[in-house]
Amino acid sequence: MRVLVAGGAGYIGSHTVVKLIEAGHDVVIADDFSNSKPAVRERLETITGRKITMHAVDLCDRDATDHLFTDEKIDAVIHFAGFKAVGESVAKPIDYYENNLGTMFSLLRAMERHGVNIIVFSSSATVYGDAGTSVMHEELATTAVNPYGWTKVMGEQILRDVANARPQMRVALLRYFNPVGAHPSGLIGEDPSDVPNNLMPFIAQVAIGRREKLNIFGGDYDTKDGTGVRDFIHVEDLATGHVAALEALGRADEPVKTWNLGTGNGVSVLELLHAFERAADKKLPYEIVARRPGDLAAYWADPSLANEELRWHATKTVDDMCVDTWRWQKNNPDGYPD
């Protein structure tokens, strides 16, 4: 398939581009570089040994998106093009709704006009909200506690409604848990443009000396060591999950499929920190501070549906995640060049 990877210059998108090409697909990247850098293209070309087609385009722009579908023959879309910082979404809700829903509308309009029926959507475990359980399975009700989360809940609903109206559509809603890690080459990885909100890039920046210490948000949760517990999944495993989902849609009888992409294992903040200390071979300073508002104590995926229906399993360990993140961080202390 020739796959439009919307937001393909970003963290998860770029790793998925590699896996798509390795699986024999053709890729067209579209990105506005609002949270990524054009320099990723050269890195992708080095890893894959292939020329990468990349368009600088604002996917909220309906006409520009439509032109892209006229210029490039597209068979399927993987939609990563969205803002993703929870705290920022609370401060700038209009930006989040406008951007995350705007990209969805332009892509769906262009798909309709150009007869493209297959779409894989970057959703999130955030749609489970506080479900009152630690193990999240796809049948749980969805909700949200911040504008970012609502854009994912709404994105899923829009896709369900569109598929309902156009039965030839094939939609995958992929609910990611906590993606971390980097390509083993150390050439591509996560490159936060500001102070990292997420745990792993923050730890990596402490290890490289860009931050003084890690603040651990809460040490008194009812968990194995008092710190929060999450399902960290290597971005390479997440990327192969997208390829598996895309291929499964081609043979699916139902128009909409929802799959959790996680390992099924809960790992604590302290466990991840200690794994990173082993990878970097140094002690990393930390302090336990107050809980972060809105955080849940502990949750992880029930990945059994994806394991069965996609014949996909996460294979990488927490040590792999830390070793690969550290290699990326060491080789690129300031992220991608401008």
Q: Which residues are catalytic?
A: 148
Name which of 48 and 197 has its Cβ closer to ligand UFG. Answer: 197
Give the nearest distance from C-beta 161 to ligand UFG in angstroms.
23
Closest approach of ligand UFG to the CB of residue 215, in Å:
5
Strand spans (E) along the chain: 2-6, 26-31, 53-56, 76-79, 118-124, 135-136, 170-176, 178-180, 214-217, 229-230, 232-234, 256-261, 267-268, 286-289, 300-301
Segment interacting with ligand UFG, rule: CB under 6 A, options 35-43, 64-72, 121-129, 243-251: 121-129
On whether the CB atoms of residues 176 and 267 are closer than 8 A, the answer is no
- Please report how close the Cβ of residue 84 comes to ligand UFG at its closest, in angstroms: 5
Tell me the Cα Rg of the chain: 19
Nearer to ligand UFG, 43 or 84 (CB): 84
- Applying CB under 6 A, the site for ligand UFG has a residue count of 20
Residue 166 Cβ, how far from ligand UFG at the closest point, in Å?
28
C-alpha span between 136 and 132 (Å, rounded): 10
Query: Measured on CA atoms in the order 138, 145, 98, 58, is the torsion positive or negative?
Result: negative
Closest approach of ligand UFG to the CB of residue 170, in Å: 25
Using the rule CB under 6 A, which residue among 40, 125, 244, 249 binds ligand UFG?
Answer: 125
Cα–Cα distance for residue pair 335/108, rounded to 1 Å: 33
Asked whether position 234 contacts ligand UFG by CB under 6 A, the answer is no
Query: Residue with CB nearest ligand UFG?
Result: 228
Inter-axis angle of helices 11-22 and 40-48, to 10 degrees? 20
What is the distance between the alpha carbons of residues 261 and 233, in angstroms, rounded to a whole number?
Answer: 8
The count of other CB atoms within 10 Å of the CB of residue 125 is 23
Candidate list 150, 177, 300, 312; residue touching ligand UFG; CB under 6 A: 177
Q: Is 225 in the site for ligand UFG (CB under 6 A)?
A: no
Phi, psi of 117 (to 5 degrees): -115, -5
On the 0-12 / 13-18 / 19+ scale of CB atoms within 10 A, 75 is middle
In the structure encoding, which two tokens stand for residue 243, read together? 């390829």
Residues between 71 and 100 that touch ligand UFG (CB under 6 A): 84, 86
Q: Please say which residue, 65 or 124, places its beta carbon nearer to ligand UFG.
A: 124
When binding is defined by CB under 6 A, the residue of 4, 119, 204, 216 that contacts ligand UFG is 216
Residue type, 313: H
Residue 185 or 198 having the CB closest to ligand UFG: 198
Backbone angles phi and psi of 28, in degrees to 5: -125, 120
The correct pick among 53, 143, 215, 307 for binding ligand UFG (CB under 6 A) is: 215
Among 217, 271, 274, 335, binds ligand UFG (CB under 6 A): 217
Enumerate the β-bridge partners of residue 2. 26
Contact between residue 244 and residue 313 where contact means Cβ atoms under 8 Å apart: no
Closest separation in Å from C-beta 253 to ligand UFG: 29
Binding of ligand UFG by 134 (CB under 6 A): no
Minimum CB separation of residue 93 from ligand UFG in Å reads 15
Binders of ligand UFG among residues 235 to 294 (CB under 6 A) are 269, 292
The yes or no reply on residue 228 touching ligand UFG (CB under 6 A) is: yes
Q: What residues make contact with ligand UFG under the rule CB under 6 A?
A: 84, 86, 124-126, 177-178, 197-199, 202, 214-217, 228, 230, 269, 292, 295
